[in-house]
Amino acid sequence: MSTLELSEQEIIRRKSLEELNKLGINAYPAAEFKTTHLSTEIKQEFDPAKDNLKEVVIAGRIMSRRIMGKASFAELKDAEGRIQIYLNRDDMCPGEDKTLYNTVFKKLLDIGDIIGVKGFIFQTQMGETTLHVQEMTILSKSLKPLPIVKEKDGKVYDAFSDPELRYRQRYVDLIVNEGVKDVFIKRTKLMNSMRQFFNERGYLEVETPILQSIPGGAAARPFITHHNALDIPLYLRIANELYLKRLIVGGFDGVYEFAKDFRNEGMDRTHNPEFTVMEIYVAYKDYKWMMDFTEEMVEKIALDLHGKTDLQVGDKTIDFKRPFKRISILDAIKEHTGIDVSGMNEEQLRAVCGELEIEIDDSMGKGKLIDEIFGEKCEGNYIQPTFITDYPVEMSPLAKRHRDNPELTERFELMVNGKEICNAYSELNHPIDQKERFEEQMRLSEKGDDEAMFIDHDFVRALEYGMPPTSGMGIGIDRLTMLMTNSDSIQDVLFFPQMRPEKRIVPDSDEKFTELGIAPEWVEVIRKIGFSKVDALKETKPSKLFQDLCGYNKKNKLGLKNPSQDDVAAWLA
RNA sequence: GACUCAGUAGCUCAGCUGGUAGAGCAACGCCCUUUUAAGGCGUGGGUCCAGGGUUCGAAUCCCUGCUGAGUCACCA
């Protein structure tokens, strides 16, 4: 590794690592390091009046250092939080040899290094619970400097805030930015809360195929891949709905799955190409039952995560206390536009869209038009949790027709903060109706609606054997997590949101450069001025390269003997 | 896919109508035994995202590209 490519601080840290080696200290020891406490446990258990906690071992990452001659303070961060440690030269090094403190701690350790310490707990004059170090072990040396984030009275200074760096190097984000970890802990708690809710009721967590030969259950552009042995195309699933319903046909009364789904569509604040959905199907229930069930579940999640139901989300307070408001989509449209669209035909709906200045196109049928009106004029108004019910049949090919109106379906979506987070039906179990609805989707697809669905004949066959009346519900885990953690971007609730890959140029070896006749001392300079590849170098003009090399030599006072212009021309020949 | 904004030291950011790059933190050296955004004195550190153009001269102006963010389009 060429040192010219490393920053000054990285070079210094590599030298410190060598120095540790010379002192016989392995900066990456193999042995288990047994700790007795976590930082939070110490803060809870320590009682200055009792003067307890005399033998404590903790491990963590050095986050700050305040060196004051023969004594120092540092902050260690472990999995649970931060705790201050106090290092005193003569306590750490009782004998003549003060190397461990003077050299190892003060000179060779850095912010970011992981150490283990043993000592006793005390309280400083400032009232800070602190571990007084008697023994110190290096557990891992950090070779790259961490961003330094400081904080006083809740105000954060020099936050590590570049979103690109935060998402690409999430590990750094997690180390230095307080609160990031908590979002992800809440995400897991949310899923555990749901699991518990389902398991208590006897529903079975299952796994269904991610690689599917027909990407069914939703309408979206899939990612496509290829299976070599079978020599067939396969798709990453866009939904798991049809597989879960096959299991209901097979005789399970309640099945659920936390599913990673994949859609090959645009990315924005609420869309990532891979995302997580929880879907649950329960036999002998209808969508009204499912509304009660969903309500109870969402309320429980809020309580499990926050101990209360009213949460601050952005500048709004959202209350997840049941019951949630329920309104049919047609009533919602009436409420927000004053227009009653029930019973209207396609032509009349088009006229309404014109009146409301909603953009539409020829491929849209009745259902889609109603959906557009709702999306444009109503959706954003539902801040508090609201069930929107009874969607038109055209936009719900997997939902059962409404018991009172065959134009509508028994379907609901849960709207919170103006966004859909959940979608549920009384599932269509009439095999002939289902087949016809799929065929209708095909016609829409031929009409140009690229959201229409593929037909899954095996699924229809399963329905032909008979599926009990069933209600199903799907809920977007990422979006629910956003609500429950007050995050305004999906990227903040995914550890590793999708990014364009970094370009990594592998530099050519020294030999490839010296083979051209270039003197070894100039190779690093050539790299530094931007040529890591011999091929790129050969493209450049000798005169420009000559000037750049001499200029760099002079500017950086390298003191190298400049090559002649002829030398440079010979290298590139 | 369209538009807008951004990219300067390890991090956060200044840098005016073009004139050889600045601060704080971090780093390095020295001082300091209960500090906490520790403090004091001193020092080093930059292909100013990349490539072209205009100019005597470009971090700065123009064009192209790369990366990211935002808005829209798309999105059961």
For the ranges A86-100, A370-384, A519-533, the maximum mean pLDDT occurs at A86-100
Comparison of pLDDT for A459 and A566, the residue scoring more: A459
pLDDT of residue A573: 66
The mean pLDDT value for A542-547 works out to 64
Residue A536: pLDDT over 90: no
Write the CB contacts of A53 (distance below 8 Å, at least 6 apart in sequence). A37, A42, A45, A46, A120, A121
The mean pLDDT value for A207-226 works out to 91
Measure CA to C1' and name the residue nearest B50: A530
pLDDT of residue A507: 59
- Nucleotide nearest A368, from its CA to each C1': B76
The pTM for the full model equals: 0.89
pLDDT of residue A157: 86
- Confidence class for position A511, pLDDT limits 50, 70, 90: confident
Which residue shows structure tokens 């809360």? A193
By percentage, how much of chain A surpasses pLDDT 90? 65
Q: State residue A82 phi and psi, 5-degree precision.
A: -115, 150
Distance, in Å, from the CA atom of A487 to the CA atom of A267, rounded to the nearest integer, reads 17
> Of the ranges A145-154, A503-512, A513-522, which one carries the lowest mean pLDDT score?
A503-512
Residue A266: pLDDT over 80: yes
The mean pLDDT value for A89-100 works out to 93
- Nucleotide nearest A7, from its CA to each C1': B10
Comparison of pLDDT for A3 and A266, the residue scoring more: A266
pLDDT of residue A363: 74
Amino acid A253 reads: D
By percentage, how much of chain A surpasses pLDDT 70? 88
Terminal Cα distance for chain A, rounded? 28
pLDDT, tens digit, for every residue of A231-249?
A: 999 999 999 999 999 999 9
The mean pLDDT value for A282-306 works out to 97
Which residue shows structure tokens 């760099």? A552
Instruction: Show the DSSP H helices in A386-476 as ranges.
Output: 431-447, 457-465
A73 Cβ within 7 A of any nucleic strand B atom? yes
Q: CA-based angle A387:A434:A469, to the nearest 5?
A: 60
pLDDT, tens digit, for every residue of A378-410?
A: 988 899 999 999 999 888 899 999 999 998 999
Distance, in Å, from the CA atom of A369 to the CA atom of A127, rounded to the nearest integer, reads 65
pLDDT of residue A448: 60
Each as own residue / partner, the long-range contacts of residues A259-265 (CB below 8 Å, 24 or more positions apart, any chain) are: A259/A208, A259/A210, A260/A210, A261/A218, A261/A237, A262/A222, A262/A223, A262/A236, A262/A237, A262/A238, A263/A220, A263/A221, A263/A222, A263/A223, A263/A238, A264/A220, A264/A221, A264/A222, A264/A223, A265/A220, A265/A221
A18 Cβ within 7 A of any nucleic strand B atom? no
| A172/B42 CA-to-C1' distance in Å | 32
The mean pLDDT value for A193-215 works out to 96
| A203/B69 CA-to-C1' distance in Å | 42
Strands A204-205 and A254-262: parallel
DSSP reduced 3-state for A246: helix
Q: What is the mean pLDDT of chain A?
A: 89
- Nucleotide nearest A398, from its CA to each C1': B76
A5 Cβ within 7 A of any nucleic strand B atom? no
Measure CA to C1' and name the residue nearest B45: A8
pLDDT of residue A2: 40
Cβ atoms of A254 and A203 closer than 8 Å: yes
- Find the helix or strand (DSSP H, E) in which A195 lies: helix A180-200
- Nucleotide nearest A502, from its CA to each C1': B67
pLDDT of residue A568: 72
For strand B, which nucleotides have at least one atom less than 7 Å from a protein CB?
1, 9-13, 24-29, 31-39, 44-47, 50-51, 66-76
A507 Cβ within 7 A of any nucleic strand B atom? no
A3 Cβ within 7 A of any nucleic strand B atom? no
Residue A505: pLDDT over 70: no
Residue A78: pLDDT over 90: yes
The mean pLDDT value for A146-165 works out to 88
Residue A464: pLDDT over 80: yes
Cβ atoms of A542 and A508 closer than 8 Å: no
| A13/B22 CA-to-C1' distance in Å | 26
Write the CB contacts of A32 (distance below 8 Å, at least 6 apart in sequence). none
DSSP label of A108: I
pLDDT, tens digit, for every residue of A177-196?
A: 988 999 999 999 999 999 99
- Find the helix or strand (DSSP H, E) in which A567 lies: helix A565-572
Show the tokens assigned to A235.
């798709």
Neighbour tally for A408: CB within 10 Å:
23
pLDDT of residue A361: 78
A264 Cβ within 7 A of any nucleic strand B atom? no
Comparison of pLDDT for A102 and A529, the residue scoring more: A102
Peptide bond into A323 cis (omega under 30): yes
The mean pLDDT value for A348-371 works out to 83
A448 Cβ within 7 A of any nucleic strand B atom? no
Comparison of pLDDT for A407 and A561, the residue scoring more: A407
Strands A211-212 and A232-236: antiparallel
Contacting residues 547-566/A vs strand B (CB within 7 A): 556
